[in-house]
Chains A and B, each alone.
Chain A
Amino acid sequence: QVQLQESGPELVKPSETLSLTCAVSGYSITSGYYWVWVRQPPGKGLEWIGTINHSGTTYYNPSLKSRVSISVDTSKNQFFLNLNSVAAADTALYYCARDAGPMAVVGFFAYWGQGTLVTVSS
């Protein structure tokens, strides 16, 4: 059973870079599927941030594209989120997830991590 676990700083200062790691267990990233970041501001809805595969092919939400970077380390079975120039509006619960498509991006998400709350504040 695939499991995902987010980790990273809980507090980030405005204008700095938010960096998160998603550790995948129970499945090798190199075996297929695409890997996803989604966020949810407190009390609000869900927003897709971006998607990556094991070879580093990425797709980003245009609303965040200028500030976001997603990367992968297959040796550690992990993928990463960097979001720069953060502001209070980036305060959210950040989830990593797995896209439902084994060979190509499908665009919905069957497996999710538990989420990690990141607060942007000085």
Chain B
Amino acid sequence: DIQMTQSPSTLSASVGDRVTVTCRASQSINSWLTWYQQKPGKAPKLLISKASTLESGVPSRFSGSGSGTEFTLTISSLQPDDFATYYCQQYKSPPWTFGQGTRVEIK
């Protein structure tokens, strides 16, 4: 199985901050990576696919980059609605696997 590791596990930030979450794969997954946002009591919401393709309706302050084994999710200016947990997921090969999550909390 491909292991996905996110860092940090928790991130404290303020509204307006630039925030970066890192995801590392245990082997190359090319660009076959997605990012999800999950709020308490809600299902994950797809933000980005193929490492950097923003899904329709997702604000442009979200961006993704990387390829191979190292990826980042960046929020250019953190908004109140962005406080949530973020998960990366590889879809290079099954079993599809997720990172353990990064919780973005209010500083």
Contacts and interface: CB of A to CB of B under 8 A. Distances in A.
Interface stretch (B11-19, B72-80, B93-101): B93-101
B91 A107 contact: yes
Interface residues of A, number: 21
A107 B49 contact: no
B43 A108 contact: no
Interface stretch (A7-15, A20-28, A44-52): A44-52
B81 to A, nearest CB: 18
B43 A114 contact: yes
Nearest to A109: B46
B91 A106 contact: yes
Contacts of A110: 46, 55
B34 interface: yes
Contacts of B49: 100, 108
A1 interface: no
B44 interface: yes
Interface of A: 44-48, 59, 61-63, 95, 97, 100, 106-110, 112-115
